[in-house]
C-alpha cells in the first residue's frame, strides 16, 4: 500500500517537475513580480507592456483567454529604447493601429518554451501585413536570439519560460518589429514622413497620401517623387529642407460633417495617381524651405503678407498678427484664395522640427 501511494503521488507531478501554472498571461504581466520597483529592474519589469496590451480589447482577449500562446513581452527597458528613436519619443502620438499590429507580432500560436526555440526555427506571428497579406515571422538565430524587422537583429530573451495557464511568456530586451514595418518605418523615423504617416492625429492625411501615391510612377533622376518620398527626402547639397502645412484629422472630419459624409468617404473622393486631386491637394501644402512661426536659426520666419510657392506652383498668402484665440493660438493664418477673407485659416500647432524640414499643423485644406 505504501509503495502504491508513492507511485500515485509521483504520478501527479508534471513531467518537468514544476508545479502547474496558476496564472494567465494577463495575470503574469500585471503581477507585482513584474512591476518596476527597487527590487524589480526595468530589464524584467512589464509595466509598459501591460499598459499597452490593455488598450486593445483584441489583445486583452489573447492574454486572458484559454487558448495557448507564446508571448514575447518587451521589458520596460525595451520600450525606453524604442522611445529613444527619432519621432517615437511619445508612443501615445503614434497611430494606434500600428501599435496594435506591432504588439500582435509578439504573439505566436501555441506554447513555445525556450527549449523549442532552436536555431533556424521560424515562428509565424499573429500579425499579417495588410498591404502584402504576408504573415510576419520571427526567426531564431543560432545563438538563441531573435531576428525580426528591428534594427537589432539579435534580440535577447532576458527571462524565459514564465509558464501560464494559457501559454508562456518570454521577456525580451527589445521591442520586436515586424519585418515589413521595419522596412518601411526605419527610413522615415525623424523625418516629416514619420510624423505624418505614423501619427495618430494624421491618419486621414496618411490615407490621402496613400491615394496620391497609388498609381504614381517615381523617377528620382528627374525629380518626380511620390508624396511620401517628398516627406522623407533627406537633406542634401540640393535640398536644404521643406515646410509641410499638415491638416490633422479634425480638419477632414469637420469637412466631412459639413458634406454629410464620413471622413473616409471624403478622403476617398479625391482621385488617385499623377493627375489625381489627392496629389494636387497635398502638394499644395508642401513648400521648399523651412518656414517657422518663432524665429529659429537656419529657418525663415513667416511674415505678414509673405507669399509662399508650393510644389503646385500656386501661391499661399500668409497673414501674421491676427487676433489670437483658442482656435488661432499664434495669430498666423494662411490662404491660397486671399480675396476670400473667410478662407484664411490658422496654424494650430507650430514649428514641429524634423531632420528634413518643419511641419506646421494647419487648420484647413489648401485646395
How does residue 4 score in pLDDT terms, banded at 50, 70 and 90? very low
pLDDT at residue number 36: 96
Q: What is the pLDDT of residues 68-108, one digit of tens each?
A: 999 999 999 999 998 888 878 888 888 999 999 999 999 99
Q: What is the mean pLDDT of residues 264-287?
A: 96
Distance CA 246, CA 268 (A): 18
Q: What is the mean pLDDT of residues 25-46?
A: 96
Q: What is the mean pLDDT of residues 7-12?
A: 40
Q: What is the mean pLDDT of residues 270-289?
A: 96
Report domain extents, the chain: 2-182, 190-362
How does residue 2 score in pLDDT terms, banded at 50, 70 and 90? very low
Q: What is the mean pLDDT of residues 52-64?
A: 96
Domains 2-182 and 190-362 share a fold: yes
Q: What is the mean pLDDT of residues 175-188?
A: 91
pLDDT at residue number 13: 41
Q: Which of 38, 59, 54, 83 is nearest to 174 (CA)?
A: 83
Q: What is the pLDDT of residues 117-166, one digit of tens each?
A: 999 999 999 999 887 889 999 999 999 999 999 888 999 999 999 999 99
- pLDDT above 90 covers a percentage of the chain that reads 83
Following CA atoms 266, 267, 273, 277 in sequence, which dihedral angle do they give, to the nearest 10 degrees? Answer: 60
CATH class, range 190-362: mainly beta
pLDDT at residue number 10: 44
Longest dimension (CA), the chain: 102
Q: What is the pLDDT of residues 184-233, one digit of tens each?
A: 888 899 999 999 999 999 999 999 999 999 989 999 888 899 999 999 99
pLDDT at residue number 6: 37
pLDDT at residue number 18: 64
CATH architecture designation of domain 2-182: Roll (2.30)
Q: What is the mean pLDDT of residues 224-246?
A: 96
On whether the CB atoms of residues 173 and 221 are closer than 8 A, the answer is: no
Q: Three cell numbers at 174?
A: 527589445
Q: What is the mean pLDDT of residues 314-330?
A: 97
Distance CA 134, CA 315 (A): 43
Amino acid at each position: 500500500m505504501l509503495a502504491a501511494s508513492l507511485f500515485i503521488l509521483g504520478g501527479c507531478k508534471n513531467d518537468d517537475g514544476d508545479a502547474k501554472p496558476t496564472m494567465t498571461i494577463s495575470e503574469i504581466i500585471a503581477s507585482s513580480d513584474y512591476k518596476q520597483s527597487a527590487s524589480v529592474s526595468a530589464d524584467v519589469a512589464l509595466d509598459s507592456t501591460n499598459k499597452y496590451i490593455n488598450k486593445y480589447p483584441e489583445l486583452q482577449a489573447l492574454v486572458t483567454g484559454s487558448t495557448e500562446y507564446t508571448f514575447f513581452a518587451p521589458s520596460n527597458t525595451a520600450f525606453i529604447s524604442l522611445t529613444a528613436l527619432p519621432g517615437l519619443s511619445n508612443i501615445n502620438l503614434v497611430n494606434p493601429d500600428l501599435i496594435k499590429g506591432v504588439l500582435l507580432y509578439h504573439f505566436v500560436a501555441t506554447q513555445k518554451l525556450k527549449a523549442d526555440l532552436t536555431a533556424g526555427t521560424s515562428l509565424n506571428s499573429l500579425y499579417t501585413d495588410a498591404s502584402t497579406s504576408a504573415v510576419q515571422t520571427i526567426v531564431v538565430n543560432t545563438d538563441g536570439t531573435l531576428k525580426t524587422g528591428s534594427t537589432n537583429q539579435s534580440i535577447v530573451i532576458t527571462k524565459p519560460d514564465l509558464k501560464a495557464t494559457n501559454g508562456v511568456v518570454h521577456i525580451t530586451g527589445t521591442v520586436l518589429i515586424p519585418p515589413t514595418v521595419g522596412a518601411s518605418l526605419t527610413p522615415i523615423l525623424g523625418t516629416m514622413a514619420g510624423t505624418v504617416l505614423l501619427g495618430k492625429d494624421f491618419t486621414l492625411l496618411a490615407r490621402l497620401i496613400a491615394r496620391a501615391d497609388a498609381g504614381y510612377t517615381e523617377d528620382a533622376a528627374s525629380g518626380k517623387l511620390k508624396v511620401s518620398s517628398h516627406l522623407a527626402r533627406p537633406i542634401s547639397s540640393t535640398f536644404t529642407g521643406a515646410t509641410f502645412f499638415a491638416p490633422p484629422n479634425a480638419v477632414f472630419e469637420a469637412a466631412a460633417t459639413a458634406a454629410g459624409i464620413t471622413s473616409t468617404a471624403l478622403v476617398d473622393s479625391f482621385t488617385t495617381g499623377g493627375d489625381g486631386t489627392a496629389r494636387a491637394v497635398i502638394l499644395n501644402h508642401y513648400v521648399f524651405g523651412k518656414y517657422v512661426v518663432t524665429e529659429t536659426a537656419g529657418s525663415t520666419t513667416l511674415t505678414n503678407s509673405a507669399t509662399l510657392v508650393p510644389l503646385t506652383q500656386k501661391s499661399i498668402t500668409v497673414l501674421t498678427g491676427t487676433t489670437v484665440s483658442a482656435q488661432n493660438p499664434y495669430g498666423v493664418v494662411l490662404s491660397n484664395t486671399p480675396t476670400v477673407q473667410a478662407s484664411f485659416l490658422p496654424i494650430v500647432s507650430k514649428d514641429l522640427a524634423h531632420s528634413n524640414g518643419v511641419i506646421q499643423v494647419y487648420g484647413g485644406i489648401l485646395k
